[in-house]
Every structure is written in structure tokens, then in C-alpha cells.
């Protein structure tokens, strides 16, 4: 991973993830229509839009869970459009899920250890045989898993089964599992969904600390407060098309965005 100096963070220029005229169609329905995005190294990039705007489809195409109809996705200057999700994860592209996807029977520790597995040098056979190198690696993995669990603040619940954790904690487990893969880019799919204000605040803290580790973050979000508070730049999708891109104040002031996203509520309220 690249170490980022302070001036690089203030004026990021190099692109880590690019979506180039990306189109995803399901039969006749065009969910994402020729969307181009450039996520720069070290920034928190927000992807917002009203329900059904194509955010999650866009997200799934970037992480390899949906195959795009046309267009390209570049990650660290490599074309990853056709790569399966597990290969993307190995390249340093990690994600969480909007509707949590955890291993219900496992403890927090077991779950995060799974996240550590892909980056290992010792293969499954060496691990089964318990070679010296595999055992050394096992120990390093355990320590790293603990660190990530402590990072999201769950070290007291490390041996608790995930199914016994409250919702907000499960989100953290997912984030810790993603961080354990040692990613350079972390994509969070609506992390604040279903959270109460307290949990939402805690989550913002976690996102800030991830950013301090010089990770690049893509945040798909619904909560305006989360997006405006934490993102460096924001792209707005509406009906599968990008209608705006810029820093939070620009987005807030953009008439198209107000029309498509924020304005709707106002209009509805005015009518009522």
C-alpha cells in the first residue's frame, strides 16, 4: 500500500478506481446508464441518489457482483471489468453489504479471521499440514484479526457469536472483516441503513478512522448527514444517470440535485 503524505491528501490527483461509461441493463431495464466516475486515492467518495437511482447496481458492478452490459472498470490502472469478486478482493478492493452478510454460526474472531485468509502465502494444503511457515502465518493472522476487531471497538465481544450481536455491532464486524483483507479501497454499501442516531455517529467515527489509515473509501449512502459530513467528493445518480459530481457544498447548491433528490420532499411537503 502507498503511504500518503499530507499534501497528497489535500490535493489528490491520482485515480484509484475508474468507471468508464458503465452501463448495466437487466433485460429492458437500464439500471445504470453510461456512468463515468473517478475515485481518487485517499479520498472519501460519496455515491448518492434517490431510491432506485442505481446506486447499489453501480456498487455491485464495481465489486464484481453484477456483470456490466458495457463499459469498463479500472482499479489501480488494471481493467477488472471481467474479474470475479474474489479476485478483486485479492487486489485490494473490499466491500460491505447493505443487508449484512455474515456467517451467523461464527464468532466475531472467526469471521474476521476468514477475512485474513485470502492474503496468505501458505496455501490450504500447507495450512492443513501445519508447516512451520503456515503456523507462523496463523499467529500473525490471529494478531491482525484482533487488531481489526479492536479497531472497530469490538474487542470485548471477540468470542461472541455474531448472531447474538446487536445490529450496529454486526455492521462493525463486516467492516472489520473487510479491513482484515488489507484493502486499498473499501466500498461501504449504505452502512448507516437501519441505524439509530447514536450508532450512526459511532459509524462516522469508524469511517473517519479508516480514512486516517490512508484507505480510499467509496460510500453509497442515503443519510444526507453522513454523506455531507464525511465525503470529500460526491456523485449523484438519478434514474441510472450521473446528474452531478463535486464537493459537498457544490452538491448541496446544485439545482439538478435539489430537483431530483432533495427537492422532492420539499415539493411533496408543499403540496400537502
Partner 1 sequence: MVKPPDPPSEAVGASLQASAVSPRTGQFRISSLLGLTPWLVPIAIAGFATATTDGFYLHLAIMWGIYSILTLGLNVVIGFAGLLALGQAAFYGFGAYASAIAVMQYDVPYLGALLIAAVVPLVIGLLLAIPFMRLRLRGIYLGMATFGFGEIAFLIFRNWESMTGGSLGMRAIPAPVIFGYEFIDQQPYAYLVIAVLLIVISLVVRLVNTMPGQVLLAVRDDELAASSVGIPTLRYQVAAFGFGAALAGIAGSLFAHYITYLSPENFTSNISILALTMLIVGGRGNVVGSLVGAALLVILPEALRALPELRILTYGALLMLMATLRPQGILGDLRWGQNPPAWTGPEVPRRG
Binding footprint of partner 1 on the chain (CB under 8 A) = 63, 65, 84-87, 89-90, 94-95, 97, 101-107, 109-111, 113-115, 117-119, 124, 127-128, 130, 135-136, 138-147, 149, 158-159, 177-178, 180-181, 213
Nearest-angstrom CA–CA distance, 96 and 119:
18
Cβ distance to partner 1 smaller for residue 18 or 107: 107
Grid cell locating 7: 499534501
Q: 108 or 207, CB closer to partner 1?
A: 108
Residue (141 or 236) nearer to partner 1, CB? 141
Q: Which residue has the cell 446508464?
A: 33
CB of 17 to partner 1, least distance (A): 16
In the complex, the smallest distance separating the C-beta of residue 145 from partner 1, rounded to whole angstroms, is 8
**Shortest approach of partner 1 to residue 198 CB, angstroms?**
26
CB-wise, 96 or 254, nearer to partner 1? 96
DSSP letter (8 states) at residue 171: H
Cell 467518495: give the residue.
Answer: 45
CB 221 within 8 A of CB 251: no
Q: How far is the CB of 48 from partner 1 (least distance, A)?
A: 22
CB nearer to partner 1: give 124 or 197. 124
Rounded CA separation 18/36 (Å): 7
**How far apart (Å, rounded) are the C-alpha atoms in residues 105 and 227?**
33
C-alpha cell at 203: 459509524
Nearer to partner 1, 117 or 196 (CB): 117
Q: Which residue has the cell 453489504?
A: 97
Q: Quick check: helix, strand or coil at residue 13?
A: coil
Query: Which backbone phi and psi does 26 adopt, to 5 degrees?
Result: -110, 100
Kindly state the smallest distance separating residue 191's Cβ from partner 1, in Å: 14
**Cα–Cα separations (whole angstroms), residue 149 to 18, 251, 265:** 30, 35, 39
Q: Provide, rounded to whole angstroms, the least separation between the CB of residue 166 and partner 1.
A: 19
SS3 of 239, please? coil
Amino acid at each position: 500500500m502507498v503511504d500518503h503524505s499530507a499534501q497528497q491528501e489535500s490535493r489528490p490527483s491520482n485515480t484509484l478506481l475508474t468507471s468508464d461509461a458503465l452501463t448495466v441493463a437487466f433485460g429492458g431495464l437500464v439500471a445504470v446508464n453510461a456512468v463515468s466516475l473517478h475515485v481518487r486515492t485517499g479520498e472519501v467518495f460519496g455515491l448518492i441518489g434517490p431510491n432506485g437511482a442505481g446506486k447499489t447496481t453501480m456498487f455491485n458492478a464495481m465489486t464484481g457482483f453484477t456483470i456490466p452490459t458495457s463499459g469498463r472498470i479500472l482499479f489501480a490502472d488494471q481493467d477488472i471489468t471481467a474479474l470475479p469478486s474474489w479476485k478483486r478482493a485479492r487486489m485490494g478492493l473490499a466491500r460491505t453489504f447493505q443487508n449484512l452478510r455474515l456467517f451467523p454460526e461464527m464468532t466475531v474472531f472467526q469471521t474476521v479471521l476468514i477475512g485474513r485468509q485470502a492474503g496468505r502465502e501458505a496455501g490450504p494444503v500447507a495450512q492443513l499440514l501445519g508447516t512451520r511457515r503456515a503456523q507462523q502465518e496463523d499467529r500473525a493472522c490471529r494478531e491482525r484479526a484482533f487488531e481489526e476487531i479492536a479497531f472497530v471497538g469490538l474487542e470485548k465481544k471477540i468470542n461472541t457469536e455474531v448472531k447474538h450481536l446487536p445490529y450496529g455491532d454486526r455492521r462493525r464486524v463486516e467492516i472489520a472483516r473487510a479491513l482484515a483483507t488489507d484493502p486499498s479501497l473499501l466500498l461501504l454499501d449504505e452502512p448507516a441503513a437501519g441505524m439509530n442516531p447514536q450508532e450512526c455517529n459511532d459509524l462516522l467515527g469508524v469511517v473517519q478512522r479508516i480514512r486516517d489509515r490512508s484507505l480510499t473509501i467509496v460510500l453509497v449512502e442515503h443519510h444526507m448527514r453522513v454523506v455531507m459530513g464525511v465525503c470529500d467528493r460526491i456523485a449523484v445518480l438519478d434514474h441510472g444517470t450521473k446528474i452531478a459530481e463535486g464537493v459537498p457544498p457544490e452538491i448541496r447548491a446544485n439545482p439538478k440535485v435539489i430537483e431530483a433528490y432533495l427537492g422532492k420532499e420539499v415539493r411533496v411537503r408543499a403540496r400537502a
